[in-house]
Structure 1
Amino acid sequence: MGHRELLLDAARRLLEDKGYAHITARDLVAASGTNLASIGYHFGSKNGLLNAALGDVFEEWTDALAEVALADPHASPLQRAHLTWATVLLHLADKRALLLSFVEALAQAERDPALREQLAEVQDRTRTRVAEIVATSYGDADVHADDPRCTAVAGFILAVCDGLALQWLLDPQRSPRPEHLLAGLNDLVARSQN
């Protein structure tokens, strides 16, 4: 395994153990068995490395959610969205430390333009991946992921996922339960069709 991979692996572990705001470059070097120069060479900065690790984690999570959303080829786009949100709620406990690290990174992004741009790129890649799922859900060969309707729906789906995650981080006991969310959304859809 090369220095780049060793650094990413160490960053992921440290993001879970220490949180974004408390990781030093020396922590990364010690955990990876590399050197300070490797961080700059491969990622430009400590924050660049941490953001790359966060991006990898969220891309993996997006891919896992995509598998869930696309598992039933007969599900409607709305059913796929509901299933995705319920799955997010089911797995938030597994992602708590990384979610907290992401919130810490967001808090610092306002004062660090490079960090902000890197996080925006992660968000854009995630939105694009979700837009691909939305386009697939339509079942129409003429609808593509770059269709503004697909990217808008993808943005909405991400906003709901992010909102559910923040509610859960603040108070897991009072955040929605997957079964309640699905029942409520199904009831809302049924009532809007009457």
Structure 2
Amino acid sequence: MGHREGLLEGAKRCLLEKGCARTTARDIVAESGTNLASIGYHYGSKEALLNLAFLKLAEEWGEGLADSRGEGATAGDLPPLERFERGWAKAIDSYGHSRPVWQLQMEIVSRLDSDPELQHALAGPQLEGRKGLAESLLGIDERADPERARLAGTFLQALLAGVMVQRMIDPGTAPSAKDLTEGLKIVTGRDEVAAGG
């Protein structure tokens, strides 16, 4: 592994262990076995390196969620509400090992107003994340139905952030996949149809 890759991997480990504000350039160098000059040479600044490291961690979480599909019937073979519930069960189950990524995400979001570069860097991946969520959680292929994937992904992304924050605050009362599915039925009026006949 070269200096560039080593720095990125070291920065990812530092972010997960210390967060963004507490990670120094020296921490990254110690973790990667490189030198201080390498950061400027390969990434321009520590902030640019940390921003990229965060994007890679978020991307890896999304890939892990996509890889967890499978298990019997594919998402496309299930009724929509069952697909929704199964997808959310996987997303919620991932929280145990991805908590550091979510804590880091909350820290990063709190910096956006003072860091326009970071805000700009997150815009593209946020759109890609929506497509990934639509496919991972609902089986919607963005190439086959881009507008449906966009709308579903936007909804799922908003819900995902709220669910994960609730898990951080109080895991005991955070919603389960079943809770989310039942709530969706109420919001869409499907619970009245079931209750009425």
The partner residue of 2:114 within 88, 94, 111 is 111
- In 1, the alpha carbon distance for the partners of 2:5 and 2:22 equals 21
The amino acid across from 1:101 in the alignment is L
- Higher mean alpha-carbon deviation, 80-89 vs 27-36, is at 80-89
Match of 2:12 in 1: 12
Q: Between the two structures, name the one with larger relative contact order (CA 8 Å, sep ≥ 6).
A: 1
2:29 is aligned with 1:29: yes
Is the CA contact (8 Å cut-off) linking 2:89 and 2:177 kept in structure 1?
yes
Q: Which amino acid aligns with 2:191?
A: R
- Specify every segment of 5 or more residues in structure 1 that has no aligned partner in the other structure, as ranges: none
Q: Map of 1:43-62 to 2, 5 A cutoff?
A: 43-62=43-62
The verdict on how the C-alpha distance between 1:167 and 1:37 changes in structure 2, with shifts beyond 3 A counting, is same
Q: Post-superposition shift, 1:154?
A: 0.7
Measured at CA, do residues 50 and 154 of structure 1 come closer, stay the same or move farther in structure 2, by a change above 3 Å? same
Match for 1:112: what amino acid?
D
Q: Residue 177 of structure 1 aligns with which residue?
A: 176
Letter in 2 for 1:165: M
Q: Any idea what SS the aligned residue of 1:20 has?
A: coil
**Aligned position for 1:156:** 155
**121-130 vs 23-32, which deviates more?**
121-130
Given that 1:7 and 1:28 are in contact with CA atoms closer than 8 Å, whether structure 2 keeps it comes out as: yes
Give the % identical residues: 37
CA positional deviation for 1:136? 5.0
Cα distance in 2 for residues equivalent to 1:119 and 1:25: 22
Output the CA distance in 2 between the equivalents of 1:170 and 1:134: 24
Residue 102 (structure 2) aligned to one of 99, 104, 108: 99
Whether the 8 Å contact between 1:9 and 1:32 is mirrored in structure 2 is yes
Amino acid at match of 2:149: C
**Which stretches in structure 2 are left out of the alignment for 5+ residues?**
none
1:22-80 Cα shifts (integer Å, max 9, x gaps): 11111111111112232233333222222222222222221222234455331244433
**Counterpart of 2:143 in 1: which secondary structure?**
coil
Contact 2:29/2:36 (8 A) holds in 1: yes
Following the alignment from structure 1 to structure 2, what is the Cα–Cα distance between the partners of residues 193 and 14?
Answer: 51
- With normalisation by structure 1, the TM-score equals 0.82
Amino acid at match of 2:154: G
Please say if residues 61 and 98 of structure 2, whose CA atoms lie closer than 8 Å, have aligned partners that are also in contact.
no
Q: CA deviation at 1:16?
A: 1.8
Contact 1:68 1:83 in 2 (8 A): no
What is the number of residues matched between the two proteins? 189
1-structure distance, mates of 2:171, 2:145: 35
Distance in 1 (CA, whole Å) between partners of 2:3 and 2:167 is 35
